[in-house]
Amino acid sequence: LPTCCTQSPVGPPRPTGASCSTFTCPPGYFAKEDYSRRVCLGFPCDVATDTLLCCNQALKCDLNCYGDGAKPVALAGATGSGDDLMLSGITLKECKRECGSSPECEGVVFGEAGGQCFGKKDIHTSMCQPGGGYVTEVLKARPWGKCVLMGDPHVIPFDRPYGPVLDEVTPGDYWLLRSPELRIQGRFGTTKRFP
């Protein structure tokens, strides 16, 4: 059986119609572990749907997730302890490869200035700090997050835990969350009491 890699806009095409012996997501994506095993392996390759069904896109955030923001993971060769457990002098690509090799690692925090690589799991974006030279990439799972809707209205979205708060909204219908898995809309308007 051939090895099937899903097609990406920049990736090479792969055989269509042949059954897959292994399944690989394109760069920038990670396998939906259980789903990719059940749906993609052993079945005919379908370029149009494999990535959509069996892969999630990795998330990149301008956040530094440490402390309560994420738990440290010991990557092979890492030094230090706790939040200071890291690999030094490597590229982001090497950092992501090391995380991919660790069954426990779900993502990385990468310090661009010194090539610092911190393995992470149980990532909570609402508890992370602004990046400040660090980026967080979630590679194998979805991070925990919070959003807030309050008042007249004030909206703090998942991807902006440090604001700015969105509070100048013209009356109407708005997407609060729109993804393949979940869609939430909000209707904002005025009342006699709050014109």
Among 24-28, 123-127, 142-146, name the one with the lowest average pLDDT: 24-28
7 falls in which pLDDT band (50, 70, 90)? very low
Rounded to an integer, the average pLDDT of 125-143 is 87
11 falls in which pLDDT band (50, 70, 90)? very low
Could you report the per-residue pLDDT of 20-52, keeping only the tens digit for each?
555 666 667 776 665 555 555 555 555 555 666
The whole-model pTM stands at 0.65
Task: Sort strands 59-61 and 63-64 into parallel, antiparallel or unpaired.
Answer: unpaired
Residue 175 sits at the vertex; the CA angle it makes with 172 and 181, to the nearest 5 degrees, is 155
Q: What pLDDT does residue 60 have?
A: 85
